[in-house]
Chains A and B, each alone.
Chain A
Amino acid sequence: MQHLSIFPILIPLLFGAIMLLPPISRDINSQRIASVVGTLFLLISSAVLLYTVNSEGVQLYALGGWQAPFGIALVADKVSSLMVLLTAFLAFAVMLYAVAGQDKGGAYFHPLFMFQIMGINGAFLTGDIFNLFVFFEVLLIASYALLIHAGGKQKTQATMHYVILNLVGSSLFLFGLGILYGTLGTLNMADMAIKVGQLEGETATLAKTGALLLLVVFGLKAAMLPMHFWLPKTYASATAPVAALFAIMTKVGVYSIFRVYTVLFGEHAGELANIATPWLWPLALLTITIGAIGVFASPSIKTLSANLVIVSSGSLLACAAINSEEATSAALYYMVHSTLASAALFLIADIMARQRGKAEDRFVRSRPFVQPKLLGFAFAISALALVGMPPLSGFVGKIMILQATQSSTQTMWVWPLILLGSLAALITFSRAGTTLFWRHNGTAAAEAEPAKKLEIAGVALLLLASPVLVIFGGDMTTFTQQAASYLHDIHASAYQLLPGAAQ
């Protein structure tokens, strides 16, 4: 179908707008139904999109009928449609969890959730760098509003830091964008990729400044080292479904880094070839280190999962730094795995926190759980996946990253750090599990409510993804391999997208 590639943006947008209108806006139950139906539609259309891209090749959608590079084009290639499907799946599972009761606590949860998904999908699909900025802002402003959902001092404080940082980030994005437009004269990323190779001398230096400014912005979103400190507090204080949805937000940053620095400033870019690599290397490795230290030091599960997000961001950035097809393929696999697994852990942490009374999710002796078996099982699966133990997807993902290192120097740096990160996670998880499940006193709190069926369904969906990713690991890796080689083949990924431009 011709319009397929815009569906992932339009569906949440329309559902979001409808939920602001009566009669749906007055009644939370109809909003819930609309949300679940909306995310389900989204899931179906994303799956169809992925299937179409896989069988028919890249889908190019020129908005307003204006061909690239003049108009805005949506590019649904294998990479972006995989990310869109990931978002849709995550959104559906998280929405199932949220409709069980976490969506109350404040107005407009459902429309904001929809707009947030729209922003994320838009950022994945767009082929235009200014449009990327616009969708970044859509997803950011929706995330600000979702972050304060259900209120509380901690949230206000965390949101304050998050908002200020990201506002500065947006300014930097525009500075970088202005410099790039001023030197390249175009906004379409494929067109930029072609023109960037022709730059030389002072103009190239200017464009380099702009490009590195963008790296700062994407690094901020991806929680790259000097800009990672906002993440643990923000994620740990957010309401559980929001935190789980945020698991994909750092991936938007990483995805943009892959898009911009492999396609735009890749090997063909003349004087500007691979400009980000010297920066990415140390920062990625340090991000893993800091994340691992944070994992060790975490006092509660929510902080632990937030720090694990930093570790996985660091691993993904290391893949971007290796800058090869294998590494990109590994990164894509690992991205899918880590998003779903950490989202599941955020949700599990929330259920646990509600059953332990005042101790919440902190690692202290407290009352036993109402549903120890169920929670223990879920916790064990997510821990196995996140640590990277066989037989779950974390193991496959980490193996793929380790195999992607090329030279001995790379191996020397990447292997120990990733393995040490896993060890840190393993130790912390075992300590946490011991405390949470075995060190308790008294009886289960009478007022603690067991997890609702929909909540369990949401968590189960997310956890189920991990074994499925292993069982269909062969197909999955073939797919990520193809996606990666497409991304690295500039002739396929740039020239093909510009039917309007003279080559």
Chain B
Amino acid sequence: MEGLYAFCVGLLTACGIFLALRGRSFSVVIGLTLLSYAVNLFLFASGRLKLNAAAVLGESEQYSDPLPQALVLTAIVIGFAMTAFAVILAMRARADLGNDHVDGTLPVSPADTAQQSGGNRKCNT
């Protein structure tokens, strides 16, 4: 169980970082969201994983660590607020600057250099 869990968190983090490093604000926002999911799962696991151990008194024999769960709830809400802000900011940047590149200007390279660099800048230069 721990191995699978760790693998999933790692995969989410990797995807999140990859997307966050891209040039378009949309993929960056998605990447940040994935990263915050990964971090929430990670924080949840820092109290160790247990089965059948809900942190409600009288519901089960043993209890899992309730503190990380409470921390995760706080972190989720904060992450939600931050992501919402980032989404709207990306929209605002699109409206103000006329494109959705995080730098506010599209890379000057014409289409041929864009193709060489793996195509991630290909979309309508």
Residues of A within 8 A of B (CB): 130, 133-134, 137, 141, 144-145, 148, 152-153, 156-157, 159-161, 163-164, 167-168, 170-171, 174-175, 177-179, 181-182, 187
Contact = CB atoms under 8 A, between A and B. Distances in A.
A233 B49 CA distance: 44
A145 B71 CA distance: 25
A179 B46 contact: yes
Contacts of B82: 137, 141, 167, 170
Interface in B56-92: 67-68, 71, 74-75, 78-79, 81-83, 85-86, 89-90, 92
B75 A174 contact: yes
8 contacts: A137-B82, A156-B96, A164-B28, A164-B102, A167-B32, A167-B35, A171-B16, A181-B68
A177 B82 CA distance: 19
B78 A137 contact: yes
A181 B43 CA distance: 9
A262 B104 CA distance: 40
Nearest to B17: A168
A20 to B, nearest CB: 16
A182 B49 CA distance: 11
Interface residues on B, range: 35 or more
A137 B46 CA distance: 21
A157 to B, nearest CB: 4
A171 B102 CA distance: 19
B97 interface: yes
B36 A171 contact: yes
B67 to A, nearest CB: 8
A178 B72 CA distance: 10
Nearest to B103: A157
Contacts of B47: 181-182
A177 B81 contact: no
B39 A144 contact: no
A168 B21 CA distance: 11
A171 B25 contact: no
B85 A174 contact: no
A218 B67 CA distance: 24
Given A163-B85, A174-B75, A153 B32 contact: no
B102 to A, nearest CB: 6
A168 B35 contact: yes
B5 to A, nearest CB: 13
A160 B43 contact: no
B89 A174 contact: no
B39 A159 contact: no
A110 B16 CA distance: 35
A141 B32 CA distance: 15
B86 A164 contact: yes
A167 B102 CA distance: 14
A206 B93 CA distance: 40
A153 B104 contact: yes
A141 B81 contact: yes
A57 B32 CA distance: 43
A212 B35 CA distance: 19
A181 B46 contact: yes
A182 B65 CA distance: 11
Interface in B30-61: 32, 35-36, 38-40, 42-43, 45-48
B70 to A, nearest CB: 9
9 tightest A-B CB contacts, nearest first: A182-B46, A157-B104, A178-B46, A178-B43, A174-B39, A156-B96, A171-B35, A171-B39, A181-B46
B85 A144 contact: yes
Contacts of B79: 170
B93 A157 contact: yes
Most chain B beta carbons < 10 A, residue from A137, A152, A163, A171: A171
Contacts of A175: 39, 42
Given A157-B103, A163-B89, 14 more contacts: A148-B89, A156-B96, A156-B97, A157-B93, A157-B104, A160-B104, A163-B85, A164-B20, A164-B32, A164-B86, A167-B32, A171-B38, A175-B39, A177-B71
